[in-house]
Amino acid sequence: MALIVQKYGGTSVGSVDRIQAVADRVIETVKQGHQVVVVVSAMSGETDRLLGLAKSISQSPTPRELDVLLSTGEQVTIALLSMCLSDKGQPAVSYTGGQVCIRTDNAHNKARILDIESVRVHKELEEGKVVVIAGFQGNDEAGNITTLGRGGSDTTAVAMAAALKADECRIYTDVDGVYTADPRIVEDAQRLPCITYEEMLEMASLGSKVLQIRSVEFARKYNVNLRVLSSFKEGPGTLITDEDEQMEAALISGIAHNKDEAKLTIVGVPDQPGIASQILGPIADANIEVDMIVQNVGMDNTTDFTFSVHRNDFEKAKSILENTAKSIGGKNVTGDNKIAKISVVGVGMRSHAGIASKMFKALAEEGINIQMISTSEIKVSVIVAEKYLELGVRVLHSAFGLENGALAEN
């Protein structure tokens, strides 16, 4: 007997019929001999309906009251799913975030989980009940309702699994796992049977939006076995777990991409200590997140400084940078928002030299110019012109032999 946490998103519980289907899957898991805790989101469309009501009352709704409002969405789902389970003969009980003591800080609309009391849930499980918990919400110390922000239900599920010391946390989504590349771009992309937390974090931060980054971080921190599966078709999905537990580490797990970025360059700035913070300080003050940063070795006591930001922040960052250029004596500012980032990700590359050069060679052979390079322990990212995105992903997928399954050493 295992303790399984299952999480179903808004689409999976978007109608009475789908709630019935979720109930059937839960009961199937119980019949396999497991204890089951279910975490659910609001029915799809419900959060937007509630947000619409709030917006019709106030242009900037009070954050505390917005949480009181939005948290009703999940509360409706837990009640309906519990009723449905009971109706099908499976004892079930629902809990809101506050009732199950999901304690958060008091940052309304984007709260972070601090603590979960698991006693009550364990007691219900021991009585043979399925426990249905509202995702996305908690209570702060004073008992105010808080929400974790969009995607917070994944985090609730992982935190719950950690608190309960569950054997596995299963996240049901509209994809059936994590792939070696986006299947819409690479026809023969392969589903990965397993992947490490670190790889998943890199994949997620690079635009593979299967899971919220926060939930993966949480899973890594508390060593929760996390599985991504499809709500709509059967299959083992992808297990996200510790490196040690993998049978055989792949050199490269997948090719991720991201076309939400834009790059900015300030040319001919004085090459002196502290110049980077003078350039990036005003950007950070404007709450603009910077991704890649490249500074070339300078000539004539000047240097060029390039960084990338989210495409939505491009114009704002450019105008800030133009002001900075004036004050620090830079020559001029250039920018480009028609770029794409392509990355090869894999824990195996830690111990292997030559990944980067293999990557650059493959791109060069197709005439794809590399504009920026950034590396971490388990990934190499390059910025290329946006028009090369699909070609670049396919070339790299093939160069690293991912179409033959990622587990083989290539």
Contacting positions for its own copies (CB under 8 A): 16, 19-20, 50, 53-54, 56-62, 64-66, 68-69, 71-72, 75-76, 78-80, 82-84, 86-87, 93-94, 96, 98-99, 143-145
Q: How far apart are CA 32 and CA 12, in angstroms?
A: 22
3-state secondary structure of 306: strand
Q: How far apart are CA 114 and CA 351, in angstroms?
A: 36
- Backbone torsions φ then ψ of 75, nearest 5 degrees: -65, -35
3-state secondary structure of 281: helix
162 token code pair: 């950690």
**Least separation in angstroms between CB 325 and its own copies:** 41
**Least separation in angstroms between CB 340 and its own copies:** 41
The residue (of 80 and 228) whose beta carbon lies closer to its own copies is 80
**Least separation in angstroms between CB 143 and its own copies:** 6
**Least separation in angstroms between CB 74 and its own copies:** 10
Q: How far apart are CA 53 and CA 346, in angstroms?
A: 45
The residue (of 125 and 192) whose beta carbon lies closer to its own copies is 125
DSSP assigned state of 259 = -
Which helix (H) or strand (E) segment holds residue 20: the answer is helix 16-31
- Backbone torsions φ then ψ of 140, nearest 5 degrees: -80, 180
User: Do the beta carbons of residue 156 and residue 133 sit within 8 Å?
Assistant: yes
Q: How far apart are CA 184 and CA 38, in angstroms?
A: 31
**Least separation in angstroms between CB 83 and its own copies:** 5
Positive or negative: CA dihedral 278, 281, 283, 289: positive
The residue (of 98 and 392) whose beta carbon lies closer to its own copies is 98
**Least separation in angstroms between CB 101 and its own copies:** 9
**Least separation in angstroms between CB 103 and its own copies:** 14
The residue (of 120 and 310) whose beta carbon lies closer to its own copies is 120
The residue (of 75 and 225) whose beta carbon lies closer to its own copies is 75
Q: How many residues does the chain have?
A: 410
CA-based nearest residue to 200, from 190, 184, 213, 191: 213
**Least separation in angstroms between CB 45 and its own copies:** 13
The residue (of 149 and 401) whose beta carbon lies closer to its own copies is 149
The residue (of 141 and 245) whose beta carbon lies closer to its own copies is 141
Q: How far apart are CA 250 and CA 238, in angstroms?
A: 14
User: Do the beta carbons of residue 158 and residue 169 sit within 8 Å?
Assistant: yes
The residue (of 109 and 334) whose beta carbon lies closer to its own copies is 109
**Least separation in angstroms between CB 78 and its own copies:** 7
Q: What angle do CA 229, 235, 239 make, to 5 degrees?
A: 50
3-state secondary structure of 267: strand
The residue (of 137 and 306) whose beta carbon lies closer to its own copies is 137
